[in-house]
Homo-oligomer: A and B are copies of this chain.
Amino acid sequence: MAKLVFSLCFLLFSGCCFAFSSREQPQQNECQIQKLNALKPDNRIESEGGFIETWNPNNKPFQCAGVALSRCTLNRNALRRPSYTNGPQEIYIQQGKGIFGMIYPGCPSTFEEPQQPQQRGQSSRPQDRHQKIYNFREGDLIAVPTGVAWWMYNNEDTPVVAVSIIDTNSLENQLDQMPRRFYLAGNQEQEFLKYQQQQQGGSQSQKGKQQEEENEGSNILSGFAPEFLKEAFGVNMQIVRNLQGENEEEDSGAIVTVKGGLRVTAPAMRKPQQEEDDDDEEEQPQCVETDKGCQRQSKRSRNGIDETICTMRLRQNIGQNSSPDIYNPQAGSITTATSLDFPALWLLKLSAQYGSLRKNAMFVPHYTLNANSIIYALNGRALVQVVNCNGERVFDGELQEGGVLIVPQNFAVAAKSQSDNFEYVSFKTNDRPSIGNLAGANSLLNALPEEVIQHTFNLKSQQARQVKNNNPFSFLVPPQESQRRAVA
């Protein structure tokens, strides 16, 4: 709890490192929600090396939350082509491991191949050199700022499943609220174009007329005249056609297969126990806020004011094996990534929460003061109820693996696990979300004077005391059987 207490304190009144909401509001009435549904993806685009599924961003709850959701599956040796988006992205790795790269314009290429003596004679072939490459694994949260291009590669047999959210209502997006992915390569349609066409009512049909015949690809290089690219890259026309995605087999799509596997200059993959060590290290306090603003305490501070964005940490593990923030062995655990422990989220103005609930354990009724929540069920199933400002139950149903539920800001929500282990990741549209519990220890009702509870709920004094104090658990309530057992 201490962490959460301080999290809130810092949220609301700390020096330079202050987190305000900086998001666009949804259009008129988009949040007047009387019925929510658990949503499954409604479109799937196959690629050579995997597939991308999307949820319709024009659905009212997504419009209210101002986000677009997609899920990408990469088979062995699959490379997701580099792309950038018109809003910040959070990517959660549901399954698998691999490597990814992000290209920050202006940052130096700091990963260098060793000198290759046998090639010294060929002065035109310098050794390779590129920007930092990162490993990722299940449970990682990856932060991608607006407009920054990234790619991803699966070098294991297990398919990589990555769920990602684009915050289109972010003020960093100066375009309209439609999600857009800009591919640097290939001939595939960007995955959200379909929904854009729906919205426009077919005006996209004139597309053919406006485009030159030679533009057959649909990446951002496809649109330029080949002569421009020839000059800009200093390469021949055959290469230009490849840059424009023209020589492409029709259906390789956004995910291509690298035959024989990708060789890049990067430290060897570490063994599992090393990864754990690495993550533990990452979870050290990065930024300790005092009355003099942000101060670094760890000897090896890895992020923040005294470092540049070029060396910023871009992933943090919040999955099952990470060290939880809230833990009750009979009820479950919650791990959060906010801008306090994962500073890159400060740029995104987003955060995430991973939760795991044991069978029949309950997440008490609560609301998020300053963020929408996009809850994605990773595993198992839970009974969830959501209530709006009029006291209406706008959702009452099961959330199952792969389903998505959007809980708007201030709406109250409670959940009870129906399976042995219900796991979810909840993306939140604020980098320091603040949660108000309605029941249990440290809840709002626990902090009200007894007489206020008594009179506001029309109870007897003894009853008010029960409402305040009967539940000794905060956040997660163990199932009643285990409570009894614990007492006995």
Would you give 25 A-B contacts (Cβ < 8 Å), ordered by A? A8-B104, A8-B107, A8-B309, A9-B310, A15-B305, A16-B293, A23-B171, A25-B173, A25-B174, A34-B210, A86-B410, A105-B436, A128-B449, A128-B468, A147-B369, A147-B434, A151-B448, A151-B456, A183-B391, A212-B396, A215-B392, A220-B367, A223-B386, A256-B455, A291-B306
A45: B residues at CB distance < 8 A = none
The interface bits of chain A over 290-315 (1 if a CB of B lies within 8 angstroms of the residue's CB, else 0) are: 01111000000001111111101000
A5: B residues at CB distance < 8 A = 106-108
Q: Name the residue of chain B whose CB is nearest to the CB of A231.
A: B362
The interface bits of chain A over 124-152 (1 if a CB of B lies within 8 angstroms of the residue's CB, else 0) are: 01101011010000000000011111010
Cβ-based interface call for A288 (8 A): no
Q: Kindly identify, within residues 142 to 201 of chain A, every residue whose CB is under 8 Å from any CB belonging to chain B.
A: 145-149, 151, 153, 169, 171-178, 180-186, 189-190, 193, 196, 199-200
Cβ-based interface call for A269 (8 A): no
Contact of A25 among B169, B181, B365, B369 (CB under 8 A): B169
Give min CB distance, A177 to chain B, whole Å. Answer: 6
Size of chain A's interface in residues, with CB distance under 8 A? 193
A389 near B181 (CB under 8 angstroms)? yes
Contact of A21 among B11, B174, B392, B437 (CB under 8 A): B174
Q: Kindly identify, within residues 64 to 108 of chain A, every residue whose CB is under 8 Å from any CB belonging to chain B.
A: 64-66, 79, 81-82, 84, 86, 101, 103-108
> Complex: how many Å from CA A147 to CA B411?
10
> Complex: how many Å from CA A353 to CA B408?
34
A185: B residues at CB distance < 8 A = 456-457
Cβ-based interface call for A31 (8 A): yes
Give min CB distance, A365 to chain B, whole Å. Answer: 6
B470 near A233 (CB under 8 angstroms)? yes
- A220-B125 in contact given A104-B8, A174-B372, A414-B232 (Cβ < 8 Å): no
Give min CB distance, A224 to chain B, whole Å. Answer: 5
Cβ-based interface call for A438 (8 A): yes
Q: Name the residue of chain B whose CB is nearest to the CB of A34.
A: B210
> Complex: how many Å from CA A463 to CA B177?
38
The 10 closest A-B pairs by CB, nearest first: A223-B387, A147-B369, A234-B470, A218-B391, A291-B306, A222-B391, A105-B436, A232-B439, A8-B106, A9-B308
